[in-house]
Amino acid sequence: MLRASGVAYDVRKDFPYLDYETYDFDVPVGTSGDVYDRYLVRVEELRQSVRILEQAVNRLPDGPVNVDDPRVILPPKHKATSEMESMIHHFKNVMEGPRPPVGECYVAVESPKGEKGYYFVSDGTSKPVRWRIRPPSFVNLSAISKMVEGHLLSDVIAINASIDIVMGEIDR
């Protein structure tokens, strides 16, 4: 929604993560921020996603892609059912989970509807002290009152559809 209004903000470009700075892709930007611009930006985002995927597929190495560390990756099923040590690692990974270091962090990722944020506080155990998700639908819905000003009631349906709200995200 922000890009359709002329702001070229993309978390992958502005705060790169997961090697996005090495990928070649454009940030589509609209001009007026209306329903049609949101549509055009969304379609161009699909094209740019295909560009990123093509580059990622070309970079995939041959062979396995998981790290060979049974403390963080589940063992193959045939090992988990036939080797005691693999079964123990499987059980500990599933029942206890990882143990992040003590501290807090906020991580933002680019999602199809905008910036999605994750806030996490750890005391060093496998259970978080606090974990909150900042969904884009909650933020996008807060702007709808400004978007519908001066429009016909029948336009509200198209405006609402163009911001693509997921009601399960806005109950925060």
Structural domain that includes position 85 = 70-97
55 and 26 part of one domain = yes
Per the structure, how many domains does the chain have? Answer: 3
In a domain, 38, yes or no: yes
pLDDT in the model for residue 66: 83
Q: Report the Cα 146 to chain-centroid distance in Å.
A: 26
93 and 79 part of one domain = yes
16 and 79 part of one domain = no
Cβ count within 10 A of residue 89? 20
29 and 43 part of one domain = yes
91 and 104 part of one domain = no
In a domain, 65, yes or no: no
33 and 7 part of one domain = yes
In a domain, 147, yes or no: yes
pLDDT in the model for residue 79: 86
Spans of the chain, pLDDT less than 70 = 172
pLDDT in the model for residue 5: 92
109 and 162 part of one domain = yes
How many helices, marked H, and strands, marked E, lie in the chain? 7, 3
* Dihedral sign for Cα atoms in the order 69, 70, 71, 74: positive
85 and 130 part of one domain = no
85 and 106 part of one domain = no
138 and 92 part of one domain = no
88 and 138 part of one domain = no
pLDDT in the model for residue 98: 83
pLDDT 10s digits, 140-161: 888 899 999 999 999 999 999 9
Contact (CB, 8 A) for 133 and 113: no
In a domain, 9, yes or no: yes
13 and 48 part of one domain = yes
In a domain, 150, yes or no: yes
